[in-house]
Structure formats: structure tokens, C-alpha cells
Amino acid sequence: MQSITPSNIDLKSLMRTASPPGLGMNHHRFGPSRVLIQCISRFDSANVNANASAASGGHVGGARYEWQSSCAILASKVVSQQPDKEKNGGIADGMTAVNGHPTLDLVPVKEAKSPAALPKPLSIADLSPAPMHGSLLRVAYQGVPGAYSEAAAGKAYPNCEAIPCDQFEVAFQAVELWIADRAVLPVENSLGGSIHRNYDLLLRHRLHIVGEVQLPVHHCLLALPGVRKEYLTRVISHPQALSQCEHTLTKMGLNVAREAVDDTAGAAEYIAMNNLRDTAAIASARAAELYGLQILADGIQDDSGNVTRFVMLAREPIIPRTDRPFKTSIVFAHDKGTSVLFKVLSAFAFRNISLTKIESRPHRNRPIRLVDDANVGTAKHFEYMFYIDFEASMAEVRAQNALAEVQEFTSFLRVLGSYPMDMTPWDCPSRAQE
């Protein structure tokens, strides 16, 4: 058996020469740098003495171990690749097993993966944003099915999955915790005014306004089937709905108790579940259909031009544009109180930017400001946060310059969102025109 030491290994000459007697050496070349080397030792009892004496002076075992050790060193310098026939479980031609065991591969070769199992690169479709039409979006709203907020969510995002929430703050948290993708919440009504709770929550949470939707409100008086108006002793609904129908209820002769609940559709559900035959609810026609109630009176709002404005909230803002009408909402405050309000309004008036809303809310962290005067004593002033909506996109230079000037006069300024205006036409004539 021929002995090979690391010092005299020559890969090229070894690949060209034949294997020593009694040893099988098979190699497979796949390319300039990919070679598989397999070493098999055969034990020939007939020629063992002669081969042993010629190769190593009678030390058969020692020469064999030296040969395997040299092959291992040689194989460590070569990139091994499993040949095709070895992948099929066969043994190379001209090779036998060692002591009845399968062929010994000095370097284990892993089976290559099929192209279908490899990861695919990202395409432009993988990077595209969520569909603007609302398909497959989860939208949170306050109330139960049949609420006006559910209708607003469906108008803002058709084909969306509407998620009801029992409180306004739960809807905010649903988006922040990735339970929902969007939230649609009311902020003002043409008859009832602003919904202050949501203005406070806009400041408390870090969601962004990404759109608005205006929904005409059509109130109905609902009761259980067979109940007449003369049998009613109370009317329940959301406080805004009660205030929007106050005069109409009086004209109908319903001098009954009026109780506020969390939402309009919830009032209808409460009557149906408790079988209250002396109670009516102010809600939508869809709520009557969902909860099996009859409509005693249709269109009972005091003004048929009753519209509620909803805002659409998301975790990330949208990119403002200039190719369509945009609206921007901000909130600000100042250490010196309301005296700075005139300067702020002048920044918009100077640039011909129209304001669509201005709302003041108490400054919760510092509701009262004390002013000491040596002549008149100490004066107490209320501190306010101011919410402003104006018709301009943050992509416009005039809006950027206006906010840069506003920032000089205020101690706190935050952009709640710059978003497309709802330009959907709707026809709600007032009662004066009817």
C-alpha cells in the first residue's frame, strides 16, 4: 500500500495517476473548482502480504490509516459535490463496500434543494400599499352593527371588515395594537356640533387623520312590532340623536322621558333583547331591519340637512398631494394664553388660506394660568388647546410657510393630518325649503 503524506500531495498528478494496488480511488470532476473525492479501501487477503511488504514493510494497518488521513487532508482542500448517481443511492462503478458497509464519503454532501423550494424575490406587488377602496381592510368604529358609524366605515372603505367597539377610545387602541387597520370616528355634526370626546382622544393618541367622510343622517323612531306611539313612556338613544330630534318629538306629542345611551343602534338592540314595549329608540332604518323593530316615524331629525363628519384614522400618515383638494388639521397652544390667536389666524389670512373649523378645548395639563399684577392682584385665566382645519395641502408652499409662522407664536404645534377632502355630492334640503 502506498503511503502519502501531506508534504508530497500533488492534486493534479494524483488525479492523473492510477490508484495503488489494493486501493480504489474514484474522482468526479464537475468544473474547474468543483471536485468530489471518495476513498475506498479494499482488503485483498490473497495479496495482503506482498502488498504490505512492498508498500510499508509489513505494516498494513499503519499504511491504511496514513492513506485515509492523507485523503482527508486532500478532501478538505477541495469543494465536494455529490454526483448524480450517488444522489440515487447507488455506489460508484468499480468500488466495493468496506467490510460490508456502504461507501464511505469523507466529506458529507447535502442534497441540493429544488428551485421551487428556494425563496422567491420580492416583486412590486409585494411592496404595493393597501387598496384605497378598502378591500380586506379591518375598520374599527364605535357602536354595534346598524350604527351610523358602521355606515360611515362602509362609505369610507367599501368591502371592508367592520369591527364594532363599545367606546371611542377602544377604536383608537384597536388601530394602535394592530387589531384594526383603520378607525372611522365622528368629530362633528351639522346640528349637534363638535364631539369633544374625540377631539381630546386625537391629542392623547398618536394616530393620523388620513381622510374624511360626510354622512347624511336619517333618524327613525323604532319600537317593537305592534307597539303604538300612545303606549310609549320613554325614548332612548345617543345624546346627539336625542338633541337632533328634540323639536320633532315635541311636535309629535311625545311628552315622554328621554334617556341617553351609548349609541343609536345599541338602543334598538336593547329594546329588542329586553322586549320593552313601552320604549322607543331613535336609530337608523338598518337598525330596525337588524333587530326586528318597526318604524313608527321616518325622518324625525329637526333638520333634514343633518350631516355628520367622520375622520379616518391610521397608524401612518399619507403623502400629501396637490392634484386634488386637501384639508389639513392642526392643534396648538401657547404659554401666554389666547392673545396669540389673532397672530395665528393672520398667518392663514395673509396667504389666502380658508379655515373650515376652529375649536377650543381646555388644556388638561395646565387648565388655569395665573397672572400677577401689582396693581390689581392675581388674575386667573383658562388655558386652551386650539384645533384648526384649513383648506390646503401640506405639499403646498403656502401651507408650509403658514405653519412655519404659526410655530413662532406657539409653544406647542402638531399636525394631526393632511388628507383629501370629501367631495361626494349629497342632497339634503332644509325644512325651510320643503
Cite the active site residues. 308, 310
- Contact partners, residue 12, CB within 8 Å, separation at least 6: none
* Nearest CA-CA partner of 23 in 33, 31, 12, 14: 14
Distance (Å, whole) CA 434 – CA 432: 6
- Whether 15 and 27 have beta carbons less than 8 Å apart is answered as yes
Three-state DSSP class for residue 78:
coil
Distance (Å, whole) CA 298 – CA 285: 8
Distance (Å, whole) CA 337 – CA 410: 10
Residue 108 burial (CB count, 10 A): 7
Three-state DSSP class for residue 116:
helix
| Nine cell digits for residue 389 | 382645519
For 171, counting Cβ atoms within 10 Å of its Cβ (0-12 exposed, 13-18 middle, 19+ buried), the class is buried
For the beta sheet containing 234-237, the strands, ordered from the edge strand earlier in sequence to the opposite edge, are 257-260, 234-237, 279-283, 220-223, 294-298
HSE value, Cβ hemisphere, 13 Å, CA-based, for 284: 19
For 84, counting Cβ atoms within 10 Å of its Cβ (0-12 exposed, 13-18 middle, 19+ buried), the class is exposed
- 259 φ/ψ sector (left φ>0, alpha ψ -120 to 50, else beta): beta
